[in-house]
């Protein structure tokens, strides 16, 4: 622009738009988060953000990490639709749709190619009781300590109060 060179933008030059339109998910509002962080604490924070997001979420993922990412996402997006868009605009273009569990069962072990993951935005939920939310996270396979931390964060109450609930359940 500074050099007065005319730049022409081509539609479809990014996998984000192609995947979003082909996904069948809501296209009115969406957020692109790029690749998820690798560092555990940053990754958990990003997954929590996805879990609370009301817009369609779009992320990129590497083939060797896609199974792990879907396994982790299950705890945060229970029941929401997920779409894996793979090898877009190429001969082996593929869309895999369903819940995280359904997509995992269809995916197979030898995943190759460029992958875009799209996650349906969350719905406004009726406020849950701390005990119910904590139990839901633990039943989904989340570590008790992480479940306490996430419950406290989501409900904006001290972790110590959530911890007391676990002591009450154990007695």
Domain shared by 166 and 101, yes or no: no
Label the pairing between strands 94-98 and 82-86. Answer: antiparallel
Residue 6 within any structural domain of the chain: no
Domain shared by 149 and 113, yes or no: no
The 3-class SS string of 105-165 reads HHHCCCCCCCEEEEECCCCCCCCCCHHHHHHHHHHCCCCHHHHHHHHHHHHCCCHHHHHHH
Edge-to-edge order in the sheet of strand 56-61: 30-35, 56-61, 115-119, 82-86, 94-98
pLDDT of 9: 56
pLDDT of 20: 93
How many structural domains is the chain composed of? 2
Domain shared by 154 and 107, yes or no: no
The CATH number linked to 31 is 3.30.950.10
Q: Which of 53, 52, 50, 69 is nearest to 61 (CA)?
A: 69
Residue 5 within any structural domain of the chain: no
pLDDT of 169: 64
pLDDT of 89: 82
pLDDT of 135: 85
Domain shared by 73 and 114, yes or no: yes
Which residues of the chain fall short of a pLDDT of 50? none
Domain shared by 66 and 90, yes or no: yes
Domain range for 73 is 15-119
């Amino acid at each position: 622009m500074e050099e007065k060179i005319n730049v022409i933008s081509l539609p479809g030059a990014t996998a984000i738009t192609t995947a979003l339109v082909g996904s069948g998910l809501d296209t009115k509002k969406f957020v692109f988060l790029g690749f998820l962080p690798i560092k555990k604490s940053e990754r958990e924070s990003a997954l929590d953000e996805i879990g609370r997001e009301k817009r369609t979420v779009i992320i990129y993922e590497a083939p060797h990490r896609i199974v792990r990412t879907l396994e982790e996402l299950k705890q945060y997006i229970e029941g929401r639709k997920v779409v894996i868009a793979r090898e877009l605009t190429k001969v082996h273009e593929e869309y895999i749709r369903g819940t995280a569990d359904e997509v995992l069962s269809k995916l197979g072990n030898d995943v190759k190619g460029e992958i875009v993951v799209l996650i349906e935005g969350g719905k406004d939920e009726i406020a849950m009781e701390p005990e119910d939310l904590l139990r839901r996270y633990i039943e989904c396979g989340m570590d008790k300590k992480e479940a306490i931390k996430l419950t406290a964060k989501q409900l904006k109450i001290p972790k110590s109060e959530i911890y007391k609930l676990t002591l009450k359940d154990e007695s």
